[in-house]
Amino acid sequence: MTSPFPHRYGAEDRLGAVNEIGEAQVRDAGALIRSGRRYGLAQTLDAASPARMWRYWRHSLILDRVLPGRFRGPNGVASLEESVSGALHSGTHLDGLAHVGIRDHAYNGVRYDAIVGPDGLTELGMEGLPPLVTRGVLLDIAALRRVPMLGDSELITAADLEAAAARAGVEVRAGDVLVLHTGWGSLWAQDPGRYATTEPGIGIEAAIWCTDRRVAVIGADTWAVEAVPGDPPDEVFPVHQHCLARYGCYLLENVRTQELAADGVTEFCCVIAPLRLRGASASMVNPVAVV
């Protein structure tokens, strides 16, 4: 029986497609900076932000030291701290390689029962992921379709990716962070219920197009990157399985793409610094595009 895990970077690899980002890719990304303009690609997160299933986000200020009579020292120091609770798969975040697997196995065929412990993952945790500095490419699928926003569950095909790359005059290359603008992100604040119910996105054919080109990360202004319901429609998150478990290609979800698309940005220096959260299956991030 053929293994579903191709071991592209060796049977012992735990980093996946970020192996495609070397010093040459970092230098090439830096060369794309000409104006110095920065775009923050993270959505604003609060308790009302779109959420699926059990996921939630709560932020609470600790007010003790700003109350009258509770200042500290003769100089009257006031201070605020806070606590947060919720899901790391909230807001703009990077899916780690253990997030979605194929039956008993995560990325590269690693068994879940060998890496899941009481304090989190013992392998494939986000603490092992280096800072990502590489070329970013934006493909404007909404503009390709001549609409402000793709429709519910609308499928993005490999042919669409080819056409959008040709329209932008770019070649998608190994080590890239490939970001798709669908317009769906406009619903993040306007209609969070609809945003989280369904979404347009890539199908398995388009996912293969991306992994054939050895991109490091696929991102989109949606909560799952892939179309929901998916392609094929009888399978559950098949693109996640293909990208994360089989090829170690990371998924960047809930990306804010409106400004990049409006300004016609197609190539940029992309910086993503995952939090070093030991044993975690994801990291919230604030990606930055610099042009």
Domain chopping of the chain, boundaries: 16-45+88-290, 52-86
> Which band of pLDDT confidence, cut at 50, 70 and 90, is reported for residue 1?
very low
pTM greater than the 0.75 cutoff: yes
- Please name every residue paired with 94 in a beta bridge, in sequence order, or none if there are none: 252, 283
> Which band of pLDDT confidence, cut at 50, 70 and 90, is reported for residue 223?
very high
CATH of 16-45+88-290, one of 3.40.50.720, 3.30.70.370, 2.70.150.10, 3.50.30.50: 3.50.30.50
Read off the pLDDT of each residue in 192-207 and give the average, rounded to a whole number. 97
Please enumerate, as own/partner, the contacts of 4-10 that have beta carbons within 8 Å and a separation of 24 or more: 4/102, 4/245, 4/246, 5/102, 5/105, 5/107, 5/108, 5/109, 5/245, 5/246, 6/246, 6/247, 7/108, 7/109, 8/247, 8/248, 9/248
Read off the pLDDT of each residue in 131-142 and give the average, rounded to a whole number. 98
- For residue 102, the model assigns a pLDDT of 97
Read off the pLDDT of each residue in 70-99 and give the average, rounded to a whole number. 95
* pLDDT higher than 50, residue 144: yes
* pLDDT higher than 80, residue 29: yes
* pLDDT higher than 80, residue 2: no
